[in-house]
Amino acid sequence: IKSIVSYLNNIDNVENMLKRLLTNVRSSLEMLAQFIVPMVTAITASLGMFILNMLKTLGEQLDELMTMFSTGFLSGGGTGGATNIMDMIVGDMSQLIPLTVLQGIIGLYCIEVVVLISYLLSGVDNGFDKVAMDYSIGRNMIIAAAVYLGTFLIASFIFGGIVTDMVQTSGF
């Protein structure tokens, strides 16, 4: 009986020690799934939209500039074989990825990462219990979606304001 009690005490001690050691890992994974990944992907999506909007605005302004040159306003005559400058620099602007597709791809990546981290987190906590895993995935997805949406709206507002300010101050 003493050896059984000793064995059970040792198992309990090992389990407590493992829980203490995995506390940092668990909190890091939770922070990663609930805040860091959604925040980084939301900022990436809004920066992507910002860059695509800037390319569109740049293309429109360069087209207007080329129109001024080709009508003789600044050059005194037509430029001859002048084409769209943005097409020469970047390529065809109509072939850019739509903003909704960009948002979908980045959002799908965020979902995949949160699900994988939640799966791992559930395994660390509960030993890969299916119900606990589903609960962990659901809870982390709700928090991650809220953080993603909030961060995306704030970043889009900030970067959208930058685009409109730049267009208004450029005089075009």
What pTM did the predictor assign?
0.73
Model pLDDT, residue 81: 44
Q: And the tokens for 2?
A: 């003493």
Distance CA 54, CA 65 (A): 16
Helix (H, G, I), strand (E, B) or coil at 83: coil
Of 170, 168, 154, the closest CA to residue 50 belongs to 154
- Average pLDDT (155-171) is 68
pLDDT in tens, 77-127: 444 444 556 566 666 666 677 778 888 899 999 999 999 999 999 888 888
pLDDT at 1 over 60: yes
* Range 21-31 burial, b when 16+ CB lie within 10 A, else e: eeeeeeeebbe
